[in-house]
Structure 1
Amino acid sequence: MPLGHIMRLDLERIALDYIVPCLHDIGFCYLDNFLGEVVGDCVLERVRQMHYNEELQDGQLAGQRNAISKRHLRGDQIKWIAGTEEGCEAINFLLQLIDRLVMYCGSRLGKYYVKERSKVRG
């Protein structure tokens, strides 16, 4: 899998010059074409396979919400991937990049400190 262009990216510069200012200014950030076409297509294909094989679960709400339709509030579907599962090499690569970006951004978000990705506990 050709991943060379990602390795040349200066992740710290992306974090400090783009992600951190976006998070401060508007509260969210997206990176267009971050993985490139080849790796992005590999991630997309694996997600499509998981969807087709009905491996995805409805997104969860934090805390208890009785008598509220979860699907009405949150329509996404999720699956927690460690990246070590068979066929998930591109997802593993994406997760490693995200972890490095989180590390660079973590202490630069004002009163917030993000040190890692984690599962939400309900």
Structure 2
Amino acid sequence: MSELQELLNYVTNCLNSYGLCVLDNFLGYILAKEVQKEVNSIINLQPFVEGQVLSTNPSIRGDKITWVEGDEKYCYFIRNYIKKVDSIVYECKTDLAKNISGRTKAMISIYPRNGTKYLKHVDNPYKDGRCITTIYYLNNDWDRERDGGCLRLYPSMIDAEPIIEPMFDRLILFWSDSRNPHEVEPSFRTRFAITVWYLDEDEIKTSNQECKYQIIKRE
């Protein structure tokens, strides 16, 4: 069995059995550093805005975000990162019983170091098409006790509440629906992440909710 097939089997088994999957050293140090450099450069190239929420409580979320398609001239390594995640998700979709035909743009988020957080929520509570959340972390030498900022999940598929440190070159995938409520604990160090959601075409077609995301088809 090839290394790629082992990875695909692992992701499929984790999502189907536990509802989430963590992959460390996803790109390898050299490529991950290049993605990190591009994210740092984007801070000076395009505006970041306050993360939006459906709630009327603005304090639920404290991150600042911007979106990239990946084809921008300053996103060469980010684009390659997205293509690698694409290759995994699209290859697994049959075994995951999902009709995944597209994804969102990549959301780059920054949590400032002043205790910013994201209270407990579900990414897709209203069937807007998002079925898999992927989050990639770019934070060197992260320490939960010192820095906070961990992702805490409350999955319905397992009897545990995993706490995921946003470690450098770590990718997490999980179901976007009510199976995975989650929160970002207060961060006391600037925290970076790239989030991409993969979309279930069948849910989009049958839902009463309008998909508010630009659907980017696989190349």
1:96 counterpart = 2:88: no
Q: What is the one-letter code of the residue matched to 1:114? A: I
Report deviation, 1:107: 1.8
Stretches of structure 1 that go unaligned for 5 or more consecutive residues are 1-8
Runs of 4+ off more than 4 Å: none
If each structure's helix is expressed as a fraction of its own residues, which one has the higher value?
1
Q: Find the aligned partners of 2:75 and 2:17 in 1 and give their Cα distance.
A: 34
Select the residue among 50, 54, 67 that pairs with 1:80: 67
Q: Find the aligned partners of 2:3 and 2:103 in 1 and give their Cα distance.
A: 21
Larger mean Cα displacement after TM superposition, 52-61 or 80-89: 52-61
Q: Which residue of 1 aligns with 2:14?
A: 22
Contact 1:20–1:108 (Cα < 8 Å) also in 2: yes
CA distances 1:51-90 after superposition (whole Å, capped 9, x unpaired): 35563333333xx43x321xx3233333222222122110
Q: Find the aligned partners of 2:64 and 2:102 in 1 and give their Cα distance.
A: 22
Stretches of structure 2 that go unaligned for 5 or more consecutive residues are 106-210, 214-219
Compute the TM-score of the two structures, normalised by the length of structure 1. Answer: 0.69
If each structure's strand is expressed as a fraction of its own residues, which one has the higher value?
2
Q: What is the one-letter code of the residue matched to 1:93? A: N
Residues 49-68 of structure 1 aligned to structure 2 (within 5 Å): 49-51=41-43, 55-61=47-53, 64-65=54-55, 67-68=56-57
Contact 1:12–1:104 (Cα < 8 Å) also in 2: no
Q: Which residue of 2 aligns with 1:47?
A: 39
Identity of aligned residues (%): 29
Aligned length: 107
Q: What is the one-letter code of the residue matched to 2:22? A: Y
Contact 1:102–1:115 (Cα < 8 Å) also in 2: no
Compute the TM-score of the two structures, normalised by the length of structure 2. Answer: 0.42
